[in-house]
Chains A and B, each alone.
Chain A
Amino acid sequence: MNETSSTIDRDQVWATYAIAVADVLEREPAEIRLGQDFRDDLDLDSLGFFELVLELEDSFEIDIEESKAESIRTTDEGFALVCGYLGR
């Protein structure tokens, strides 16, 4: 897989990721950016976080291990986790 293909893939993953996060938060996908803290910047509470994990699992057809999910604090970490499961 060449670098261009990989970049496009990551862009596509980000687009889907942003939509999933935005859907949980009832925001616009454009409001979701790297570097945001889910709790402090996006007002995600504990129940919302569990909902986010479910939404990411559905959007990417992956099963996220609870121990790995618990470590997510930021949009970067969530995105990296998803990419890891997708092998990108």
Chain B
Amino acid sequence: MAGYWLLKPLDRESSGRARGLRGVHSRQVVVTGMGVLSPVGNDVETVWQSLVSGASGIGPITQFDTEGFATTFGGEVADFDPGAELGRYKAKHLDRFTQLAIVAARQATADAQLDIGAEVDPFRVGVIIGSGAGGLASIVKQAGVLERRGPAKVSPYVTTMMCANMAAGEIAIDTGAMGFTSCPVTACAASANAIGDGFEAIRSGRADAVIAGGVDASIVSLCVAGFGAMKALSTFDGDPTKASRPFDIARDGFVISEGAAVLVLEEAHRAGKRGATILGEVLGYGTSTDAHHPTAPHPEGAGARASMASAVAQAGLTPADVDYVNAHGTATAFNDATEAAAIAAVIGGGVAVSSTKSVTGHLLGAAGALEAIAALKAIDGGCAPPTINLDQLDPECDYDSIEHIANVASERRIKHVLSNSFGFGGHNVSLVFGGA
């Protein structure tokens, strides 16, 4: 109980919120480290500057021959040498998604200066890394070997390379974390689920720290062909940097990207005691499922409304306390219209809204975590990054009660951010973040 009184002094500015009175055993969860590899930069500051300036990371796909593909562009991670980062022998036996995740996690733990073992019991440190497709490139490659040469020639490494949980497993090996580890596989909501699950693990007392985030390296022929076959991808004819157009009337689908984003979450008291730099706080984790269709959102946005409302409520906030919404905003016809309506209905009040996927493309399983980083930087920097390529707002996304931050970043006081991540399968996650 003595530790309870050492928590940060209560912030009573928010209407009706008394953070210290959520329960005598309530543990607060802060962010002490961040790491990212993305099409717009391989460190947090570069990524943030790209988001604020609207510098798109979309370009021609180089990872496979796109001859015959309707979509030939995406957001690839550049300047990444896994052999140099991880050692050639190690890197050779890891799928790209695991390579990216390990390096992003190293950035985050270095940022947090968390010494697992010295400063925290390894069994109290978890790793939760979500992924939509795991080692898809390895699956595709070895499926080809199996077909052409038979089972005896399949790599003995394929099972460890393809499993989506291997990112979490390898990060645990790399960091020495021996606590709760898992891998949410909820498509585009995966890393948001990972952060939320890490938040809950700390709040419940299961862990004192969690390395939480997500990764996908799905710019793979089968994946691009598959999304193309269901007409989910943009087939924009022109400058690829203009292709990702959330909320715009000319939007025609999402732009596929790859990358990894990881946060270090810690129990607030412990983090303060060891002198960690607090980057922000996770306040609320709202979840729901649309239970409607594998890919199309609930037509009334019932799931999105529920996840946003519950996240805000868990944070002990009212909708008026949300200053900025980082939308899921994939630039598909269905998502953007439904989401805008849901944000207007649940949050409203002229809240600033933008989709950073306009700049980064859709990192699939890593999107939620990258957007969590954007949320925390928005609070810290007092700046809402823009939705670029928003030349003409779709009337179906236009509501008086929301303010689209179109094309140019908007400096403003931001105390709380709500970030949405909605995945195929109908998985909805909304996270609420606060400042340090």
Contacts and interface: CB of A to CB of B under 8 A. Distances in A.
Interface of A: 25-27, 43, 47-48, 50-51, 54, 58
Nearest to A58: B153
Contact of B153 (A26, A27, A54): A54
Which applies to chain A's interface (DSSP): helix, strand, loop or mixed?
Answer: helix
Interface in B121-166: 153, 155-157, 160
B157 A47 contact: yes
Contacts, number: 22
Q: Pick the 5 closest A-B CB pairs, nearest first.
A: A26-B88, A50-B156, A26-B89, A47-B156, A51-B156
Contact of A47 (B87, B88, B93, B153): B93
A28 B89 CA distance: 12
Which applies to chain B's interface (DSSP): helix, strand, loop or mixed?
Answer: helix
20 contacts: A25-B89, A26-B83, A26-B87, A26-B88, A26-B92, A27-B89, A43-B89, A47-B93, A47-B156, A47-B157, A47-B160, A48-B89, A50-B156, A51-B155, A51-B156, A51-B157, A54-B153, A54-B155, A54-B156, A58-B153
Contacts of A50: 156
Interface string B66-97: 00000000000000000100011100110000
Nearest to A46: B156
Contacts of B87: 26
Nearest to B157: A47
Contacts of A25: 89
Contacts of B92: 26
A55 to B, nearest CB: 10
A58 B155 CA distance: 12
Contacts of A58: 153
B69 to A, nearest CB: 31
A70 B160 CA distance: 22
A26 to B, nearest CB: 4
Nearest to B90: A26
A59 B89 CA distance: 19
Nearest to B160: A47
B86 to A, nearest CB: 11
Nearest to B154: A54
A54 B92 CA distance: 15
Given A54-B153, A58-B153, 9 more contacts: A25-B89, A26-B83, A26-B92, A27-B89, A47-B93, A47-B157, A48-B89, A51-B155, A51-B157
Contacts of A27: 89
